[in-house]
């Protein structure tokens, strides 16, 4: 049984969190520093951006969790600590501040930053607010932490699930930030996941690396892969199940829980894309290979022309076929069928790679909804894939035209 529950990163036993405004961001009403702490050391796994330009915190985090152990996460928003000469030093200082405030070894800290690239990060306001940050740690503090990692996000993003492994009730929760510069490859934005399930660091890494291929890596808002993308998972084992150390039924259950959580976060992030008014979900079925299905779905969701058409509620199905055609996916374009679906119904607009008569009025009614499904069949194969994105609006340009100011 897999149940969605409340609690975010604090849903699992033994995890506390908090978020405060320390002064990195000029807006005093917005939190900009988050801390997540496990009562005990936890197995740790992470995936990172493949952008050659990487934020300093990623380098420090990778070194810190090389032994598969972590006990805390500290993250600031408003400044990415990327492309700075002293970036590594600052990220390490943030870990040291956690050690001084909590007693957790600096080497057991995951550190992350998000915000403007190339702007020096002054660690002073972080140091000045560590007492308040740690004093406010709470087993109900997920929402505060989720708010503190936001940048251009308009909503905080958190989710938790409850599941059973080996007869023991386990919980897993996550928070995420991501609204723009979203086009991950082996990672995504910033996502912090916690669980009380007992699982080895090796199997935790396997679970995460496997899951993101069909979840976060199938998400795109604007085609830009961030320098600071990172997903981390901490598993402290306080559910007291027999530790998962190999493939099997228990690992499959864990994978399902992780997938339930990550898909929810994918949809929430896509729906909150910068300036977005609509969540787009593209499903490709009938492919001869998984790679073909994934390539086609991701290409459609990344098409600026298709995204603009969805903003205008224009059933311009030709843009779907165009995106499939240049995607590199091995499909027969003469067998492609396309439909659009929303809460207002479903309408077929293309059959066997050619247009068919349909009601433009009905199509517009369907496409005016907040959540749009783009349904594509490419043949009679057995493989399918799903990708998530959003529409492209005037506001996206406005937000990114004056991002630093």
Report the catalytic residues. Answer: 188
Which helix H or strand E contains 155, and what residues bound it? none
DSSP 3-state of 255: helix
* CA–CA–CA angle 157, 127, 51 (5° rounding): 50
Q: Is the dihedral of CA 359, 364, 365, 369 positive or negative?
A: positive
Q: Look up tokens 């349909």; give the residue.
A: 358
Give the tokens for residue 299: 């290409």
Rg (CA), the chain: 22
As a whole number of angstroms, the distance between CA 405 and CA 398 comes to 12
Query: How many residues in the chain?
Result: 405
Q: Going by C-beta distance under 8 Å and a sequence separation of 6 or more, which residues neighbour residue 239?
A: 12, 13, 165, 168, 169, 170, 171, 195, 196, 197, 198
As a whole number of angstroms, the distance between CA 158 and CA 131 comes to 25
Specify which residues 385 forms β-bridges with: 284
């Amino acid at each position: 049984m897999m149940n969605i529950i409340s609690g975010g990163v604090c849903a699992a036993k033994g995890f506390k969190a908090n978020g405060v405004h320390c002064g990195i961001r000029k807006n005093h009403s917005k939190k900009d520093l988050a801390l997540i702490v496990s009562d005990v050391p936890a197995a740790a796994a992470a995936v990172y951006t493949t952008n050659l330009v990487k934020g300093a915190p990623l380098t420090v985090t990778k070194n810190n969790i090389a032994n598969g152990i972590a006990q805390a996460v500290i993250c600031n928003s408003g400044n990415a600590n990327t492309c700075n000469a002293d970036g590594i030093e600052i990220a390490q200082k943030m870990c040291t501040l956690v050690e001084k405030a909590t007693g957790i070894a600096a080497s057991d800290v995951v550190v992350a930053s998000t915000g403007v690239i190339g702007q020096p990060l002054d660690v002073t306001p972080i140091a000045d607010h560590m007492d308040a940050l740690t004093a406010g740690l709470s087993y109900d503090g997920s929402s505060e932490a989720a708010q503190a990692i936001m940048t251009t996000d308009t909503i905080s993003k958190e989710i938790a699930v409850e599941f059973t492994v080996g007869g023991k009730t386990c919980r897993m929760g996550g928070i995420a930030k991501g609204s723009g510069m979203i086009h991950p490859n082996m990672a995504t934005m910033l996502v912090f996941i916690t669980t009380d399930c007992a699982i080895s660091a090796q199997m935790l890494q396997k679970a995460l690396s496997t899951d993101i291929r069909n979840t976060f890596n199938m998400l795109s808002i604007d085609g830009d892969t961030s320098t600071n993308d990172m997903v981390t998972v901490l598993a402290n084992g306080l559910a007291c199940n027999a530790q998962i150390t190999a493939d099997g039924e228990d690992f499959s259950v864990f994978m399902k829980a992780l997938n339930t959580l990550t898909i929810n976060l994918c949809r929430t992030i896509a729906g909150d894309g910068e300036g977005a008014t609509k969540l787009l979900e593209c499903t490709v079925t009938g492919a001869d290979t998984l790679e073909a299905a994934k390539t086609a779905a991701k290409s459609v969701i990344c098409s600026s022309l298709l995204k603009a058409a969805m903003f205008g509620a224009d059933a311009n199905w030709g843009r779907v076929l165009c995106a499939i055609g240049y995607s590199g996916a091995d499909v027969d374009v003469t067998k492609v069928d396309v439909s659009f679906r929303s809460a207002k119904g479903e309408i077929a607009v293309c059959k066997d790679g050619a247009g068919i008569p349909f009601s433009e009025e009905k199509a517009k009614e369907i496409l005016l909804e907040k959540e749009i499904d783009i349904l594509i069949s490419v043949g009679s194969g057995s493989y399918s894939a799903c990708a998530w994105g959003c529409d492209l609006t005037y506001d996206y340009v406005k937000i990114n035209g004056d991002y630093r100011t």
